[in-house]
Homo-oligomer: A and B are copies of this chain.
Amino acid sequence: MSTVAVSPSNSISMLAERYAAVRAQSTALARPLSPEDACVQSMDDASPAKWHLAHTSWFFETFVLAQSNTNYTPFDPNYRVLFNSYYNAVGAQYSRPHRGLLTRPSLSDIHAYRSHIDTQMSRVIEGDIDPELAAIIEVGLHHEQQHQELLLMDIKHLLSCNPVAPAYIAHVERPVLATSELSFCDYPGGIIRVGADGTDFSFDNERPCHDALLHEYSLATRPITNKEYLAFISDGGYHNSLLWLADGWATVKKHDWEAPMYWRNTDDQWFEFSLTGEHPLVPNAPVVHISYYEADAYARWANARLPTETEWEFAANDTATHGNFVEHEYLHPQANGSTDLSHPTQLFGDVWEWTMSPYIPYPGFQTPAGAIGEYNGKFMSGQMVLRGGCCVTPHEHIRATYRNFFYPANRWQFGGIRLAR
């Protein structure tokens, strides 16, 4: 399939192993959830955990099982509509803002569905697998990893609506590391290569690899911390229209924003709601759950700007993708204690870093044929690119060329700030 760069590592045994591992991780993430937790939808943008578990299975059923076997009998014909997210080419979809109304099928029905799909999929994977099919399975696994992150974002939002402030998992106290002073690294301009070259797996939106012109720039050595963001708040940042984009200012006024999404002020002390419950704000940790508008206003206040996605990628190209990912089970950004100011740190993990680049196609971008062509291309309007993954992203899901995207007003993803000049 032309839309997917097939990695040479897709040997069948590795695929089977990866399939099992990724699928098991979804199940593991759902384990702390009650049937109620897994069913409810707390806002239009979010989906129930149960729906994520079902939809990722629907993806394999629709794009692999039904494609590879013309006699395939669906597990339940209703699921074709219920768990189709947005693929118009596949057919009708159950209304997105109503996903939380589906109390039936139950959570255990969905676990049975997953088992059924896994059994069927193992037959396909162990068979004489077509490389094009293997490539779609690979997409399906990366797709499931995206939904693992969404599941955690959405559960965090749901639990945050409960005045009892329940924790997704128990809190573990950890030593708080120091944070270095903010400094900047300089980069020269020139023509560079941008995007995925097809050596490893990539999504269609990372391709084609192409030349881009970079102007000289500097990039901050680490993300902005809560303490630094508090200085912006204390300086009246949320009340000074001159710091904001016009759309941003309208959004601040409409929602009465006064602080990042999950911050709460009680008796003049700041707390932050996290997947481990509500805790006092950690000054050294990266600020998180802010919108593009807030990141942009902060940067203006700090006499800086956000980087372009090309600037970010160039800096990240020669950096290892180590960082605070979902595997660490912190599920919250952390100060990293680094004192090395010679190059940017924490580019990967902790917080998705807003760039000033709107999410548009790369020169020469082609949407793949068929329903899979709806995967990315149709969202290339009105959203901004974020880079680097965060503390709820699977580590192996991320890479320097990876393009995430959200609307500038979105805050429920783990978005943070890295400055540029």
Whether, in the assembled complex, A381 has its beta carbon less than 8 Å from a beta carbon of chain B, the answer is yes
Cβ-neighbour of A86 out of B89, B246, B357 (below 8 A): B246
Is there an interface contact between B40 and A107, defined as CB atoms closer than 8 Å? no
Is there an interface contact between A378 and B245, defined as CB atoms closer than 8 Å? yes
Name the B residues within 8 Å of A82 (CB-CB): 163-164
Known: A88-B242, A241-B88. A162 touches B381 (CB 8 A): no
* Closest residue on chain B to residue A105 by CB atoms: B164
Cβ-neighbour of A164 out of B104, B211, B249, B380 (below 8 A): B104
A81 to B82, CA, bound (A): 35
Is there an interface contact between A246 and B35, defined as CB atoms closer than 8 Å? no
* Number of residues on chain A facing chain B (CB within 8 A): 63
Whether, in the assembled complex, A34 has its beta carbon less than 8 Å from a beta carbon of chain B, the answer is yes
Is there an interface contact between B360 and A360, defined as CB atoms closer than 8 Å? no
A106 to B106, CA, bound (A): 16
Cβ-neighbour of A81 out of B163, B373, B378, B382 (below 8 A): B163
A98 to B35, CA, bound (A): 18
Shortest A80–chain B CB gap in Å is 11
Cβ-neighbour of A103 out of B40, B94, B241, B293 (below 8 A): B40
Name the B residues within 8 Å of A158 (CB-CB): 101, 103
Known: A245-B380, A246-B379, A382-B382. A162 touches B102 (CB 8 A): yes
Q: Contact string, A181-223, partner B, CB cutoff 8 A, digits 1/0?
A: 0000000000100000000000000000011110100000000
Name the B residues within 8 Å of A212 (CB-CB): 213
A211-260 residues with Cβ-Cβ distance < 8 A to B are 211-213, 215, 241-242, 244-249
Is there an interface contact between A215 and B107, defined as CB atoms closer than 8 Å? no
Query: A-side interface residues toward B, CB under 8 Å?
Result: 34-40, 42, 78, 81-82, 86, 88-89, 94, 98, 100-107, 158-159, 161-164, 166, 191, 210-213, 215, 241-242, 244-249, 292-293, 296, 356-358, 360-361, 363-364, 373-374, 378-382, 408
Can you list 12 pairs linking A and B with CB atoms under 8 Å apart? A36-B107, A37-B104, A40-B100, A102-B162, A103-B159, A104-B162, A211-B213, A215-B364, A242-B373, A245-B379, A246-B379, A247-B381
